[in-house]
């Protein structure tokens, strides 16, 4: 079991994206629950389950070393005592590339509160439209008479 404790689901989420940017496999796997019931789906990828498949997939992704920067936008978080679900819009960019392009992804991250703190149990990412939809504006309520 990892010695790292995440006191909140948001702490685990922050560690997930930090490890992703650094291509830090140990840091990435420290976020995941040590359970064979974990599930990971990368954009346009197959469903991976269990520690071995999830670790192998991240090892392949990280093999090229740190290259991408990730900006998280429009997080929607739903939390309960033992479970938290975060839906985010991820914008990946590769600095120092002449054809710098942003790759949009929509991801759902599910966290479980364990004896060792919050841990990821599901990461499901899918290709997204080029730009996130505009956040709803605060508008006054319509009053019908």
Rounded alpha-carbon distances, angstroms, from residue 75 to 10, 104, 109: 11, 14, 10
With contact defined as beta carbons under 8 Å apart, do 109 and 16 qualify? yes
Of 36, 65, 67, nearest in space to 49 by CA: 36
| Residue position matching structure tokens 């710098």 | 100
Domain spans of the chain, in order of start: 9-125
- The larger pLDDT score, comparing residue 69 to residue 65, is at 69
Burial of 57 (0-12, 13-18, 19+ CB in 10 A): middle
Residue range 31-60: average pLDDT? 94
Instruction: Write the pLDDT tens digit of every residue in 93-118.
Output: 876 666 667 788 899 999 999 998 99
Average pLDDT over residues 74-84: 89
Identify the architecture of domain 9-125 in CATH. Answer: Roll (3.10)
> How far is Cα 111 from Cα 23, in angstroms, rounded to an integer?
21
Q: Is the pLDDT of residue 12 over 80?
A: yes
pLDDT in tens, 115-132: 989 999 999 999 887 655
**Pairing mode, if any, of strands 69-79 and 47-49?**
unpaired
Q: What is the pLDDT of residue 35?
A: 86
């Amino acid at each position: 079991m990892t010695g790292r404790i995440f006191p909140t689901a948001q702490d685990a989420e922050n560690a997930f994206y930090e490890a992703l940017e650094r291509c830090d496999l140990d840091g990435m796997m420290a976020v995941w629950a040590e359970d064979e019931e974990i599930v990971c789906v990368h954009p346009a990828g197959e469903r991976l389950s269990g520690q071995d498949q999830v670790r192998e997939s991240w090892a392949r992704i990280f093999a090229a070393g740190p290259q991408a920067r990730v900006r998280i936008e429009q997080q929607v978080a739903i939390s309960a005592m033992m479970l938290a679900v975060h839906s985010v819009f991820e914008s990946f960019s590769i600095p120092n590339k002449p054809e710098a392009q942003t790759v949009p992804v929509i991801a759902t991250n599910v966290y479980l509160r364990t004896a060792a703190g919050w841990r990821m149990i599901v990461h499901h990412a899918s290709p997204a439209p080029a730009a996130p939809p505009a956040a709803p504006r605060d508008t006054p309520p319509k009053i019908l008479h």
